[in-house]
Every structure is written in C-alpha cells, then in structure tokens.
Amino acid sequence: MRQEFLPFARPSISEEDVAAVSEVLRSGWITTGARCAGLEAAFVDRLGTTTAVATSSATGAMHLALLALDIGPGDEVVTPSMTWISTINMIVRLGATPVFVDVDRDTLMAGPAEIEAAVTGRTRAIIPVDYAGAAAELPAIRALAAKRGIAVIEDAAHAVGTRRRCGEEVGSTGTAIFSLHPIKNITSGEGGVLVTDDAEFGDRVRRLRFHGLGVDAWERGQQGRSPQAEVLEPGFKYNLPDMNAALGHSQFNRLDDFIDRRRDLAFRYRDRLAGTPGVLPLADAAETDRHAWHLFIVRVDPETAGIDRGGFMEALKARNIGTGIHFRAAHGQRWFVDHPDRWRGVDLADTEWNSERICSLPLFPAMRDEDVDEVARAIREIVPAAGGVPA
Ligand SMILES: *Cc1c(COP(=O)(O)O)cnc(C)c1O
C-alpha cells in the first residue's frame, strides 16, 4: 500500500510562481492592477479574441455574463444538469429558470439535438460545458442559437488549452469562461477569466466586475483608480487581485507542459484500466482535437463491477488514494428536489445514470507514472468482478 496519500488533484507551484507572487507583495500594489491587465493580455494574445476580463472566480464571471445579457425572471437558460452547481445557482438567483438537458452517456456533454429540443420562445442563453477538458459541439450549438438570437456562454472551466477539430482553441471565438481554481489545469489561487469576441459585451462585463464604474479599477498613470470614476450602473465586486493574477499568468505560461503531462497520465490510465469490468472511462468526443485532460473520470457500474461507487471510493481511500465526484446532477440536489417549480428538465436518464456512477481518479502534472500503475492495481484489487487480480 502507498505510504503517502495521493490526492485527486494538486496544483503544480514552481519557484517562478512563488517569485512572481513575491514580487507583487513587495511592489506596493497588491490588488487589481498591471498584473491583472497582463494576465488578460496573455489570454487575448494566445486566443486571438477581443476581450479578456479576469475575475475572482469563474462563478463570478458567469454571474457577470448573465447580468450583461440582462437575464432575469421569465427567462430560460438551457444547460446540462451534469455541471458544477455554480452555474445553476447564478441562473436561479437572477430569477431565471434553468432548463436541464440530458448529456451523452459516454462524453457527459449535451449535443445540439438535445439543446435544440429544449429551446422555447423564452430561451435567452445556452451554456454548454466542455466536460473534463474535451470540447463540446460549439459550432453546431452556436449555429442553432444564432438562428434564434440566443446567446451562448461556453463553460470552459475545464478547458483552458483545449483545441477543437477545426484547429481553434476554446475561447478563440464567442464567449467562454475559464476557471483558475486550484483544482483546475492552471490556478491563480482563486480566479476566473471571461473571454469574448464581442467588444461591447466585454466592456459591460468589465464595468459590472467593479461596482459599475465607467473606468477600470486601475490606471497606469494614476497608480490607482481614477477618482473621477462614476457609476454607470450598479455593479458587483469580482475583480482579481494582482497577487492572484501574477500566479495565474506564471501558470498560464506553463499550460502546454501541464496538458502534455496530463495527457500522458490519462493515456496510461486508459491502458492500465482497459478491460476492468464495470470501470468505464469516458469516450473520446468527436469535436476534440486536443483534450486538456482536466479530469480522468470513470463510471463505476455496480451491476458489472460488483461494487458501488461509495464502496469503491472508500476502498481507494483506505489505500491512501483520493478521488472526487464531478459532478452530482444539479436537479437531484436537495433544493432542486424541494423546488420543482424553479427548473425544468426533460428525460435526464443518462445524466442520472452517470450522476450515481462517476468518479474522478487522481490526475495532476506532478504525478509519477508509477502512481497511475498503483491506482490501477488498487482498482483491480477492489473490484470483485476483476477477480482481485493485480494488473
Ligand atoms: C470549477 C467550475 C466552475 C466554477 O469555477 P470557480 O472558479 O470555482 O468559480 C464552473 N463550471 C464548471 C464546470 C467547473 O468545473
């Protein structure tokens, strides 16, 4: 058995990351300023988009995007129930109705057909999710939305660096939201980035990010906020401090190395777990050219594995191996069960099937190949249908 606990995620913090943050701490300016602007410029440069707005979380970025679309009571937002609850919370808190669509059983992503079937005259936005770092079918989803004048906000929290089949990186076109939470592929401690190719929309998000003031928080010449700044509309306070932005930028510079390492580990898992009964990895999504491998998810099917997910996770924990659940379906959570009038959903069979079975295995760049081998061996010991035979 492993001596040391293997968490399911761990950020890779280098000495350069530490130095970048230390420099900010010593500089005399630690909240939002030049470092935040630098991080935003790096996203714009890499993606070739128009605007990047860094925020204190991707949840905050999603809230701002929905606000900038003026979404409120009477409006519907189509999104999978198989997503992080933050998106759904923001929709509900704005008084709008989340309309849940089912996901593909083996990619966990909602396709254009399911989305189109859920659209009504009240639909104002669609929020597809690039699940686990694969690419959702954005070109087709955008086309059906554009025909009806519906906005698309791509939830790319898992997908910094993901590339689509057409060769474009996620976030190059349209509006997308990335998360820089510590379990995500790159981190700023906490943080998020909204990118958009719609300059006017980007300006409104930027304004709403900081109290609704007509100029940004920090002006180079001023070494601070312009004292003349005026409120153009009531806003929020979702700015990203420079301490965090410096870390995020330093991490962004290493994104490709991180993804390469994650991919090697993911392929090793696929190989080592192949043929383990009832332990089912996700399938490849056709729209994905480069997968960012944010998560390595398996579905533990009690019927074929001979053990349920709870038992599987407990047994791994007893062997010093951490796991996670990404995610429990939103509509099955207490508040949503108690408030069936606040959401809609049609035929969520594959969502529910997965919600009971998904489990994320350890995956982070500093993992060793042998760690993957150990996890796979432990799984074969735990799963009765694998016969307890080590891989
Ligand atoms: C992590 C995550 C978010 C929210 O990110 P935060 O930065 O933690 O607010 C949104 N959507 C998905 C799918 C996520 O995994």
Check residue 222 and give its pLDDT: 60
Q: Is the pLDDT of residue 282 over 70?
A: yes
Check residue 61 and give its pLDDT: 98
Pocket test for ligand 1, best of 155, 194, 209, 247 (most atoms within 8 A of CB): 155
Q: How many other β-carbons are positioned within 10 Å of the β-carbon of residue 216?
A: 20
| Catalytic hit among 147, 184, 237, 317 | 184
Task: State whether 168 and 272 are in the same domain.
Answer: no
Ligand 1, atom 5, lies closest to the CA of 58
**Cα 149 to Cα 147: distance, rounded to the nearest angstrom:** 6
Q: Which of 223, 254, 285 is the last residue of a domain?
A: 254
Check residue 225 and give its pLDDT: 66
The answer to whether the CB of 188 is under 6 A from ligand 1 is no
pLDDT category at 387 given cuts 50, 70, 90 is confident
Residue 3 covered by a domain: no
Task: State whether 94 and 124 are in the same domain.
Answer: yes
Q: Which of 227, 254, 281 is the last residue of a domain?
A: 254
The answer to whether the CB of 155 is under 6 A from ligand 1 is yes
Q: Among 257, 107, 265, which Cα is nearest to 185's? A: 257
Pocket test for ligand 1, best of 8, 59, 186, 297 (most atoms within 8 A of CB): 59
Q: Is the pLDDT of residue 44 over 60?
A: yes
The answer to whether the CB of 83 is under 6 A from ligand 1 is yes
Residue 364 covered by a domain: yes
Distance 157 CA to ligand 1 centre (A): 5
Check residue 228 and give its pLDDT: 75
Task: State whether 214 and 338 are in the same domain.
Answer: no
Average pLDDT value for the chain: 96
The answer to whether the CB of 157 is under 6 A from ligand 1 is yes
Residue 9 covered by a domain: no
Atom of ligand 1 nearest to the CA of 131: 13
Atom of ligand 1 nearest to the CA of 179: 7
Check residue 110 and give its pLDDT: 97
Q: What share of the chain in percent tops pLDDT 70?
A: 96
- Token couple for 378: 């432990």
Ligand 1, atom 13, lies closest to the CA of 84
The residue range of the domain holding 223 is 15-254
**Residue 188: phi, psi to the nearest 5?**
-120, 25
| Average confidence (pLDDT) over 83-104 | 98
Long-range pairs, 209-214, Cβ under 8 A, ≥24: 209/53, 209/55, 209/60, 209/64, 209/235, 209/236, 209/237, 209/238, 209/239, 210/32, 210/235, 210/237, 210/238, 210/239, 211/235, 211/236, 211/237
Task: State whether 245 and 279 are in the same domain.
Answer: no
The answer to whether the CB of 86 is under 6 A from ligand 1 is yes
Task: State whether 243 and 261 are in the same domain.
Answer: no
Residue 286 covered by a domain: yes
- Strands 123-126 and 76-80 come out as parallel
**Cα 254 to Cα 61: distance, rounded to the nearest angstrom:** 23
pLDDT category at 214 given cuts 50, 70, 90 is confident
CATH number of the domain that residue 353 is part of:
3.90.1150.10
| Cα diameter, the chain | 72
Q: What is the pTM of this model?
A: 0.97
The answer to whether the CB of 57 is under 6 A from ligand 1 is yes
**Cα 57 to Cα 244: distance, rounded to the nearest angstrom:** 11
Check residue 12 and give its pLDDT: 98
Residue 391 covered by a domain: no
Residue 5 covered by a domain: no
Distance 150 CA to ligand 1 centre (A): 23
Specify whether 237 is catalytic: no
Task: State whether 175 and 56 are in the same domain.
Answer: yes
Q: How many other β-carbons are positioned within 10 Å of the β-carbon of residue 63?
A: 24
Q: What domain count does the chain have?
A: 2
The answer to whether the CB of 294 is under 6 A from ligand 1 is no
Which three-class secondary structure state does DSSP give residue 201?
helix
Distance 82 CA to ligand 1 centre (A): 12
Contacts of 361 (CB under 8 A, 6+ apart): 8, 269, 296, 297, 298, 323, 375
Task: State whether 158 and 242 are in the same domain.
Answer: yes
Task: State whether 165 and 309 are in the same domain.
Answer: no
Task: State whether 330 and 382 are in the same domain.
Answer: yes
The answer to whether the CB of 87 is under 6 A from ligand 1 is yes
Check residue 218 and give its pLDDT: 58
CATH number of the domain that residue 205 is part of:
3.40.640.10
Task: State whether 200 and 304 are in the same domain.
Answer: no
Residue 72 covered by a domain: yes
Contacts of 18 (CB under 8 A, 6+ apart): none
Atom of ligand 1 nearest to the CA of 191: 7
- Token couple for 6: 């293997």
Pocket test for ligand 1, best of 86, 108, 187, 209 (most atoms within 8 A of CB): 86
Task: State whether 354 and 290 are in the same domain.
Answer: yes
Q: Is the pLDDT of residue 220 over 60?
A: no
pLDDT digits (tens, 9 = 90+) for 320-373: 999 999 999 999 999 999 999 999 998 999 999 999 999 999 999 999 999 999
The answer to whether the CB of 244 is under 6 A from ligand 1 is no
Q: Which of 254, 278, 293 is the last residue of a domain?
A: 254
Task: State whether 76 and 91 are in the same domain.
Answer: yes
| Average confidence (pLDDT) over 186-203 | 98
Atom of ligand 1 nearest to the CA of 158: 15
Distance 177 CA to ligand 1 centre (A): 9
Q: Is the pLDDT of residue 25 over 80?
A: yes
Distance 28 CA to ligand 1 centre (A): 31
Residue 10 covered by a domain: no
Q: Is the pLDDT of residue 382 over 70?
A: yes
Pocket test for ligand 1, best of 63, 154, 178, 181 (most atoms within 8 A of CB): 181
